[in-house]
Amino acid sequence: MGTDVAGGARIDIVTMGPQGLTTREDVLAIEEALEIRVVGTEPVITMRTPGQDRELAAGLMLSEGLARTRGDFEMLCHLVDEPDVVQIALKHFSNEKAEMLQRSSFSNSACGVCGKKRLDLGTMENLGPLSPGPAVSGELLCSLPSRLREHQRLFAETGGLHAAALFDDSGELQAVQEDVGRHNALDKLNGWALLNHRLPLTGQIVVLSGRASFELIQKCIMARVPVVCAISAPSSYAVRLARKFGITLVGFLREGRFNIYSCPERILDQSAPGSWGHGTESLAH
């Protein structure tokens, strides 16, 4: 076992190749449990890649409707000498909020709704409509995956991490977060925005390195993200949710092509798609 790098663990492995079996060093994405202790309720556990734990916890509180601003926290910190424990004290904490947290029962890094006792859309229903903008071009959207890859340091080393990135309407990268869990990466991004007074994310674009599922769209709704782009496919429930709440959902985002699954009015349809694509015949291919 070699020396670990931030977010990755070096190990010796055996590889089968043209020359037969050889040994070499590999870097694996680290996955460890984080215990989140919210004062007034039972601790909850989530699996994550260590790093940006405060942002992850803040993003989880946002996703569950328990916090919307930095001012909603009286305490958000690691316990002394316990790097895998985050202590949270929420202002105006109530029995209702405690029940909301216990219903969430988030417990693993694979799925943000796995283990939930039931799906609750009430918190999202109480939010106002999303802003009508931004209006963005197909050319700009098609440039985002390569910009995201340039900042996926841990993925480049391990090949085993998801990423969520925030761009403004001019395509400038605002932040990127990586984690072994898809929903953790987005929670870290949303938590970063919350702790840095960047919410709501009006006029911003979120790019997901994988597929778009229900829980990721739900988290974007809570952060008020109007445009969500996924490198891979969306699920049917994700599309239904995006249409219901007015999110522009883009899938299969590649250089020169993508699909628009909801609210296409935010995407500028250029008269000459071939000028930004490679033989693309329509904007939503």
3-state helix, strand, coil in the chain (%, to 5): 30, 30, 40
Query: How many CB atoms within 10 Å of residue 123?
Result: 15
Q: How far is CA 90 from CA 57, 78, 174, in A?
A: 12, 15, 27
Residue 67 has which token pair? 């916090």
111 is catalytic: yes
Question: Taking the mean position of all CA atoms in its chain, how far away is CA 205?
Answer: 12
Spatial distance between the Cα atoms of 155 and 180, rounded to a whole number of angstroms: 9
| Tally of residues, the chain | 285
Spatial distance between the Cα atoms of 235 and 175, rounded to a whole number of angstroms: 25
Q: What angle do CA 192, 197, 200 make, to 5 degrees?
A: 90
User: Considering only CA atoms, which of 17, 23, 31, 16 is closest in space to residue 2?
Assistant: 23
Residue 55 has which token pair? 């942002």
User: Considering only CA atoms, which of 247, 243, 244 is closest in space to residue 223?
Assistant: 247
Q: State the binding site.
A: 252-257
* List 77, 111, 114, 220, catalytic entry: 111
The contacts of residue 175 (CB under 8 Å, 6+ apart) are 165, 166, 189, 192, 193
Residues assigned a catalytic role:
111
